Amino acid sequence: MASLKDVKVKISGVKKTSQITKAMNMVAAAKLRGAQMKMERFRPYAEKYNAAMGNLSTGMDAAQFPLMEVREVKSVELLVVTSDRGLCGSFNSNILKQTERLMRQLEGEGKKVSLVCVGKKAAGYFKRSGKVRAIYTDIMGNFQMFNARAIAQDVAGNFLSGGADEVHIMYGRFQSVAVQRPAQQQFLPVKSVEGGAAAASADYIYEPSTTEIMDVMLPLYLNVMVYHAMLEVSASEHAARMSAMDNATSACKDIINSLTLVYNKARQAGITGELMDIVGGAEALKG
């Protein structure tokens, strides 16, 4: 059985760890409020932008716009968005695992895969794969639209130059404080919407022409998609960290209770041993 001093030191160490995890939980909760608010405010804008793009692109000839050009897919680029920091449970690893599954599927089809990593977790995980084309780190803690614009321009430039025939975004979608799931979305080429949306397009008169509007909106659409993915990851990261730190604090309490029981047993055994020595000594004196 461990000595009383050893057990006491362990209890003290776990208590300090519990204080740290509780503080991290509170910090994550405070940051989550701001990140979730930004994400929820931007979601309707992104959805309306998607709807507008769908209406404008209905019935259009994709060959008119280089960003909508559909080519034979020989190479695919994956834009992987994760956090810069860890200690958020399985949030980042779920995104990375889904990315790996998609990579294996694409390579199994004979396609070449390249990666653009946003966030240290993605960059660190894939850096030895030899497939990373570009890395963007130390921005997820405090990013703005210009960061998303730089990433979107880089990826779009590679697509236009023929470096990739198709681009997908891999990120974590915020569903609730308790649930964040990995998500995948085609980034390039931008798909034109057909079918049900075609009738809706007749209800609008565009000034200037739809072609001129699309020339302006297409690049902006890419910025919106990247920024939206980054906002989703930011909110998901803080929610996942809050849950992970809450679980860690609860685990610390369980360990403290277990060690306290061990400490009490060791202390009781020590007292019993001392009493036996006293009784034995007294009996020896009588004899």
> Taking the model in full, what pTM does it have?
0.85
**Contact at 8 Å (CB) between 184 and 172?**
no
Task: Work out the average pLDDT over 280-285.
Answer: 74
Known catalytic residue at 252:
no
User: What is the fold, at CATH topology level, of the domain defined by 34-241?
Assistant: Pyruvate Kinase; Chain: A, domain 1 (3.40.1380)
**Contact at 8 Å (CB) between 210 and 59?**
no
Lowest mean pLDDT among 50-64, 191-205, 221-235: 191-205
For the chain, domain boundaries: 4-21+245-286, 34-241
Instruction: Show the tokens assigned to 277.
Output: 């020595």
Of 88, 106, 123, 226, the active-site residue reads 88
42 burial class (0-12, 13-18, 19+ CB within 10 angstroms)?
Answer: middle
Beta bridge partners of 77: 114, 167
Summarize pLDDT for 130-176 with one digit per residue, the tens. 999 999 999 998 999 999 999 999 999 999 999 999 999 999 999 99
pLDDT grade for 59, boundaries at 50, 70 and 90: low
